[in-house]
Structure 1
Amino acid sequence: MIDDDMMRRLYPPERLAAVRGAVADEGLGAVLLTPGPDLRYVSGYDAHPLERLTCLAVPAEGEPFLVVPRLELPAAQASPAGRLGLEFVPWEETEDPYALVAARLPGTGEVAVADQMWAAMALRLRDAMPGVRQVAAGAVMRRLRMRKSAAEVEALREAGAAIDRVHAMVPGLLRPGRTEREVGRDIAEAILAEGHVSVDFVIVGSGPNGASPHHELSDRVIEAGDPVVVDIGGTMPSGYCSDSTRTYAVGTPPEEFQTYYRVLLEAQEAAVRAVRPGVTPEAVDAAARDLIAAAGYGEYFVHRTGHGIGLQTHEHPYIVAGNTEPLEPGMAFSVEPGIYPGAHGARIEDIVVCTEDGFERMNTVPRELVVVDS
């Protein structure tokens, strides 16, 4: 459970004013947020995604309001949204909630709709406001969510410590004769036992499966000498996510693997140490990619170096060539270069937060190759 003080700091009432200011700055009439990470970020309400409309409207002028099905009203009021002084507009089963939203907003101009709003809902809102043009809310929400508050960084630090405790257990789960699926099941149980409320993903890529960055658990039997990529993450009670990758070896791995793992370790360290305010994400990407390419493995590094993290496992900023928006204190993201030649693969991933003068790692378990006795 998360204590009440932490919940207040994670979801402060000032968020509504910040969103309203961003809506006005973008020249929009309002932003409309249905269940998902944006709604939770602004209000603290982790609403169920139902076919019934729940919609937070934050207009540039006028007071924000939350349209919510009558049967969901107690849950909404019990959430942090109940402390925001927010007007709740409950609707009955025989009412049209889209008309309720439209009646309270200007009938012309532009409104931003949540990037992850169901298409059916966006279309119903469009029909209810025929004189209004819809745009994606990403332009409004991205800048607000990308720079984490001290409370958000604390939540990410807690998530990192929880997933680190799971990684510390992994060597005891790996041995020849076990399948990836068996190991993955045990890891999933450990993720929940260590404080997460949900398991978001478990990747156990042994041998050649380690060369597939998003490998699904399989019935492949782990063999002596196999490198094993373990990428795991979940969501904490705070709503904030963990994500960390370590690569293990069950017995002595092939010499060629050991050679490129040393390169990968150096590249990941270089990328992390490149993080500081004013540096661009593409420069962090290059810090890892250039080392890997110079060692002759460039063609085997097939994905970006990282992604933002917070209420979603993947969000802005993305650590990739072409992203020239300078890093700022509070930005949180993964640094996870990988090398995937085919017969096996390796990845090292830490969550990193840009600080006022550098960086802080959210993950502290060793990054050196862990060799498990076979």
Structure 2
Amino acid sequence: MHEIRLTPKTEIDARIRHLQAQLAEEGVDAALIIHHTNMFYYSGTSQSGHLLIPRQGEPLLMVRRSFGRARAESPLAQILDVQSLKLLPALLAEYGCASERVGLELDLLPVNLYHRYLGLFPNTEFVDISMLTRRQRMIKSPYEIELLEASAAVLDAVFAKVPAWLHAGMPELELASRFEAGMRQRGFGGGARMRSFNQDFFMGNVHAGKSAAVPSFFDGPVGGPGTSPAGNPQGAGWGCLQRNEPVYIDYASCIDGYIADETRMFCVGRMPEDMRAAYEAALAVEAAVLARARPGVLWEELYQRALEVVADTGLGDFFMGPGPDRVRFVGHGVGLELDELPVLAPKLRQPLEAGMVFALEPTFVFPGGAVGIENTHLVEATGIRTLTRAPREIVCVS
């Protein structure tokens, strides 16, 4: 039986100390954490409430729901049951926390809630600490890397099952449900969090042929029709697998909160030669980018390296999406969220650092389908270590 994994106290303590050092450097008295991703990262629980992290001293977790579960999951010493926002000023004063400058996650905090804080703390200057937390989470600890490896292993295991499932006439939704069941049976929690506003992600994509060319709101090279314009209009649709067309499968696994991302190509029958050639181009892009990637290399350099390789193939019009629906990146960070830093995109001149983890996804999208490769990679001191390890070859079944 799988046991629930709780974040070790040593891990939580190290994260809090790091943020406290950043708060001191920025002249911020305290951080008031609300968003569930950061709540989990700094406290070990995703329960609803507020986490106060002062520049000095012990944090205070104020829980609205569920207090009992938060106490069971979090290693923090000071956890209170707080059912009203109106209690916050008195609690901070009683706790002895300075509140002249308080940090909030302003990149995603609702405006109406922000105005409530302004009313509760009329003498407080609120500042944005979103990037402080995102840049901290960008560098993974050995504990986090272990969880990312476990998540990658789930993807590899389920991808190994796919050839036995494939047959002409199989609905995309049936193949998707089998893949998703395989992940769930191995501990996948059922969703992948995203930070970007209005970016929802289910589990992944299964597309047969031209289904992959249907664009969507989702900020990725492949969208898909989904089952309806309502709700979550992306991913597998009502179409079926046909012989001799590409089957594109892209999934994000999430084990104990940490996300790995992987894409592999399949076919019932024979892969068309033009699609096979484009897939070889995607492999060439991946190899060239990884050969360049190491600590100190700028994120935008890796994007430009991808474009250089694509230019030699003559397939630039199809790279990373069709026409106006093309995305302007070739890779993205993963961790507790699917859209973390780093982002391999133009005009981002930050360097790679050891401990970063990113998914590299060179993809070509044509009217008749999509081909691409995606793997999750760890930046180490000497280069890159790939965490997702399913065979890269196109798998064709008769």
TM-score, with structure 2 as normaliser: 0.84
Q: Note the C-alpha offset of 1:291.
A: 0.8
Q: Equivalent residue for 1:159?
A: 151
Partner SS for 2:260: coil
Show CA shifts across 1:42-77 (max 9, x none).
Answer: 1111225xxxxx0001122454211112x6222111
Matches of 1:187 and 1:120 in 2, distance apart? 40
Q: Note the C-alpha offset of 1:120.
A: 3.9
Is this contact kept in 2: 1:113–1:134, CA < 8 A? no
Matches of 2:157 and 2:119 in 1, distance apart? 50
Q: Note the C-alpha offset of 1:101.
A: 5.5
Indicate how the Cα distance of structure 1 residues 172 and 17 shifts in structure 2: closer, same or farther if over 3 A, else same: same
Amino acid at match of 1:132: T
Q: Equivalent residue for 1:91?
A: 82
Q: Note the C-alpha offset of 1:146.
A: 0.7
Unaligned 5+ residue runs, structure 2? 193-202, 215-221, 225-234, 320-325
Indicate whether 1:312 and 2:333 are aligned. Answer: no
Matches within 5 A, 1:168-183: 168-183=160-175
Matches of 1:278 and 1:288 in 2, distance apart? 18
Matches within 5 A, 1:225-264: 225-236=244-255, 238-264=256-282
Matches of 2:103 and 2:87 in 1, distance apart? 17
Partner SS for 2:170: coil
Show CA shifts across 1:14-66 (max 9, x none).
Answer: 22111111111122222111141111111111225xxxxx0001122454211
Q: Equivalent residue for 1:207?
A: 209
Matches of 1:256 and 1:205 in 2, distance apart? 18
Indicate whether 1:281 and 2:299 are aligned. Answer: yes
Indicate whether 1:321 and 2:312 are aligned. Answer: no
Matches within 5 A, 1:1-374: 1=2, 7-8=7-8, 11-48=11-48, 54-69=49-64, 72-79=66-73, 81=74, 83-85=75-77, 87-92=78-83, 96-100=86-90, 103=93, 105-113=97-105, 115-200=107-192, 201-212=203-214, 213-215=222-224, 216-236=235-255, 238-301=256-319, 302-303=326-327, 304-373=329-398
Matches of 1:250 and 1:275 in 2, distance apart? 35
Matches of 1:100 and 1:227 in 2, distance apart? 61
Unaligned 5+ residue runs, structure 1? 49-53
Matches of 1:19 and 1:353 in 2, distance apart? 23
Q: Note the C-alpha offset of 1:343.
A: 1.7
Indicate how the Cα distance of structure 1 residues 20 and 176 shifts in structure 2: closer, same or farther if over 3 A, else same: same
Matches of 2:90 and 2:397 in 1, distance apart? 61
Show CA shifts across 1:165-201 (max 9, x none).
Answer: 1111122222210111111111111110122122441
Indicate how the Cα distance of structure 1 residues 252 and 101 shifts in structure 2: closer, same or farther if over 3 A, else same: farther
Matches of 2:162 and 2:112 in 1, distance apart? 43
Indicate how the Cα distance of structure 1 residues 12 and 111 shifts in structure 2: closer, same or farther if over 3 A, else same: closer
TM-score, with structure 1 as normaliser: 0.90
Q: Note the C-alpha offset of 1:295.
A: 0.7
Q: Equivalent residue for 1:51?
A: none
Indicate how the Cα distance of structure 1 residues 199 and 234 shifts in structure 2: closer, same or farther if over 3 A, else same: farther
Aligned residues: 361
Is this contact kept in 2: 1:56–1:66, CA < 8 A? yes
Show CA shifts across 1:135-164 (max 9, x none).
Answer: 332222122111111111111111101111
Partner SS for 2:122: coil
Amino acid at match of 1:66: L
Amino acid at match of 1:235: C
Task: Tell me whether 108-117 or 349-358 shows the greater mean CA deviation.
Answer: 108-117
Task: Tell me whether 141-150 or 113-122 shows the greater mean CA deviation.
Answer: 113-122
Q: Note the C-alpha offset of 1:107.
A: 4.8
Indicate how the Cα distance of structure 1 residues 292 and 100 shifts in structure 2: closer, same or farther if over 3 A, else same: farther
